[in-house]
């Protein structure tokens, strides 16, 4: 039988098939962080169940960490306690932890790929919905709740029904200035926020084949924003070249052996998907969102559509936008470049490329938050730090930061923030904050101009 990439990886991890379509699925790697793990550790402890495979777990502190003065004790008491709890739990259960300040510390979904922990054909989970990021390598990776974190602690397995399969094909050549973020925002704007629910999505076509690993991660990262538990891209030479030589990647002969296996993973010609969508690369333009879910996106020069629907109107009222309005020339006071969606070196290169030799508008507060310590180091090594500082941007320390505003990096009430993160939900970046999602290029251009500009009119 012809199999999809997803079928091949999934089927290779089924421990046991139960009645009623349920399967016990084996999990290769489990990433954990401070916010969604403490209750799972408590659960196990209360039941007297040990952590089954601690060597397959990697922990990082990312959601709730400050992005300044990381060498000092964390000021917020509850945040500090949560981090201490992670520390204690990892020490007690022999789990590797990249704590605040460690050279490998970073957002789980930035750290694991750059260390070579993420590999094709794996199953990976984390108590975070953006775990779908790792699917860029041709792995099955998805977010889980804390009860499931406890299940994986206890058994290295989950009890699941196999999701349906979906393929999104984008062929053609992207226009200049169109980044991977625009591709995924375009897809979500076309399909809506729940079209992927119940599915695992494969992204196929020349656009993804030609995309870098970091671009593929940006795309897979936002799969959950259309409801899909995960996204995947077939592993190829780009994937193998990226993994080769990384800290925890297979080495020497083992690497060759693994690569031979990884090459068998792409979807067979003629394999059938439960659902398929096709888009043309040439139709995609730089995107921005205007509402309070990631599906509410438009091309940057388009006007806000006019939908007659209470939820749509509630959303526009929150954003203080009107139907038919253009967002070009909209004054913006905050810009955030970072997160597990766009906090990698290529994102900062794209921003720096635009910013070089310019300075930000006086009224703009521009935060740059690297996705990991290693990205922070690259920014410095490549001289990007100087470009950013000369332009008046604030380069902060790694973490999830203003993507979810659990720490002090909050956008004030009523303010607009052009953000490279993944969610524009009400209050996501701070109570009353208004988020406009965009690519790192659009975010950089907004900071320089102090307003949203039609980037397609500039040579980029």
146 belongs to the binding site for other proteins (CB under 8 A): yes
253 belongs to the binding site for other proteins (CB under 8 A): no
CB of 361 to other proteins, least distance (A): 28
- Could you tell me the CA-to-CA distances from 229 to 54, 194, 390, 394, 403 in Å, in that order? 25, 11, 41, 34, 20
CB of 432 to other proteins, least distance (A): 7
Closer to other proteins by Cβ: residue 21 or 71: 21
C-alpha R_g of the chain: 21
DSSP secondary structure code for residue 398 in this structure: S
Q: What number of chain residues touch other proteins (CB under 8 A)?
A: 68
Asked if 424 and 397 count as a contact pair (C-beta separation under 8 A), the reply is: no
70 belongs to the binding site for other proteins (CB under 8 A): no
C-alpha dihedral, 429 to 430 to 432 to 437, nearest 10°: -10
Closer to other proteins by Cβ: residue 298 or 447: 298
Residue span 209-248 as binding mask against other proteins, x where in contact by CB under 8 A, dash where not: ---------------x--x-x-------------------
Tally of CB atoms within 10 A around 55: 9
- Could you tell me the CA-to-CA distances from 401 to 90, 106, 419, 428, 435 in Å, in that order? 23, 11, 12, 11, 14
CB of 76 to other proteins, least distance (A): 8
155 belongs to the binding site for other proteins (CB under 8 A): yes
Long-range Cβ contacts of 70-78 (<8 Å, 24+ apart):
70/100, 70/101, 70/397, 71/101, 74/100, 76/407, 76/408
Structure tokens at 316: 């526009």
19 belongs to the binding site for other proteins (CB under 8 A): yes
157 belongs to the binding site for other proteins (CB under 8 A): yes
426 belongs to the binding site for other proteins (CB under 8 A): yes
Tally of CB atoms within 10 A around 78: 9
The stretch among 103-111, 147-155, 164-172, 327-335 that binds other proteins (CB under 8 A) is 147-155
Residues 192-211 that bind other proteins (CB under 8 A): 193-194, 197-198
Beta strands in 35-139 (DSSP E): 57-60, 96-98, 123-126
Candidates 2, 244, 278, 314; binder of other proteins (CB under 8 A) is 314
Helix (H, G, I), strand (E, B) or coil at 395: strand
Residues 20-59 that bind other proteins (CB under 8 A): 20-22, 24, 26, 35-36, 38-39, 42-43, 47, 49, 52
CB of 56 to other proteins, least distance (A): 10
Asked if 247 and 373 count as a contact pair (C-beta separation under 8 A), the reply is: no
Helix (H, G, I), strand (E, B) or coil at 35: coil
Closer to other proteins by Cβ: residue 169 or 193: 193
CB of 164 to other proteins, least distance (A): 11
Binding site for other proteins (CB under 8 A): 15-16, 18-22, 24, 26, 35-36, 38-39, 42-43, 47, 49, 52, 63-64, 76, 78-79, 81-82, 85, 127-129, 131, 143-148, 150-151, 154-159, 161, 193-194, 197-198, 224, 227, 229, 293, 309-311, 314, 404-406, 413, 423, 425-428, 431-432
């Amino acid at each position: 039988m012809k199999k999809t990439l997803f079928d091949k990886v999934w089927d290779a991890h089924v421990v046991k098939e139960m009645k009623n379509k349920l399967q016990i699925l084996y999990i290769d790697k489990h990433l954990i962080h401070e916010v969604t793990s403490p209750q799972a550790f408590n659960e196990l402890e209360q039941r007297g169940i040990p952590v089954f495979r601690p060597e397959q777990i990697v922990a990082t502190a990312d959601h709730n960490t400050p992005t300044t003065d990381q060498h000092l004790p964390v000021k917020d008491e509850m945040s500090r306690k949560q981090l201490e709890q992670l520390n204690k739990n990892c020490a007690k259960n022999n789990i590797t932890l990249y704590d605040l300040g460690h050279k490998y510390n970073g957002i789980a979904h930035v750290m694991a790929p750059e260390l070579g922990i993420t590999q094709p054909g794996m199953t990976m989970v984390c108590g975070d919905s953006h775990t779908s990021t790792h699917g860029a390598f041709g792995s099955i990776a998805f977010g889980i709740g804390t009860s499931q974190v406890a299940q994986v602690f206890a058994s290295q397995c989950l009890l699941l029904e196999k999701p349906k399969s979906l393929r999104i094909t984008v062929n053609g050549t992207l226009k200049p200035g169109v980044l991977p973020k625009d591709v995924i925002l375009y897809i979500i704007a076309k399909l809506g926020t729940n079209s992927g629910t119940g599915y695992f999505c494969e992204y196929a076509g020349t656009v993804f084949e030609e995309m870098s690993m970091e671009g593929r991660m940006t795309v897979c990262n936002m799969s959950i924003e259309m409801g899909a538990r995960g996204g995947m891209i077939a592993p190829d030479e780009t994937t193998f070249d990226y993994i080769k030589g990384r800290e925890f990647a297979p080495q020497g002969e083992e690497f060759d052996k693994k690569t031979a296996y990884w090459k068998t993973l792409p979807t067979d010609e003629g394999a059938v998907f439960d659902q398929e969508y096709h888009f043309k690369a040439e139709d995609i333009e730089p995107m921005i969102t205007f509402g309070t879910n990631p599906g509410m996106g438009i091309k940057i020069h388009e006007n806000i559509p006019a939908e007659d629907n209470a939820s749509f109107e509630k959303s526009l009222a929150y954003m203080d936008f009107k139907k038919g309005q253009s967002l070009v020339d909209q004054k913006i006071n905050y810009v955030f470049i970072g997160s597990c969606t766009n906090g990698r070196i290529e994102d900062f290169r794209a921003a720096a490329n635009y910013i070089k030799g310019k300075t930000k508008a006086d009224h703009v507060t521009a935060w740059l938050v690297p996705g990991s310590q290693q990205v922070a180091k690259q920014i410095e090594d490549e001289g990007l730090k100087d470009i950013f500082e000369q332009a008046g941007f604030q380069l902060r320390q790694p973490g999830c930061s203003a993507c979810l505003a659990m720490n002090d990096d909050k956008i004030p009430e009523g303010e607009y923030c052009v953000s490279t993160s993944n969610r524009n939900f009400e209050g996501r970046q701070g109570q009353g904050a208004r988020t406009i999602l965009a690519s790192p290029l659009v975010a950089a251009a907004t900071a320089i101009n102090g307003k949203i500009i039609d980037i397609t009119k500039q040579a980029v």
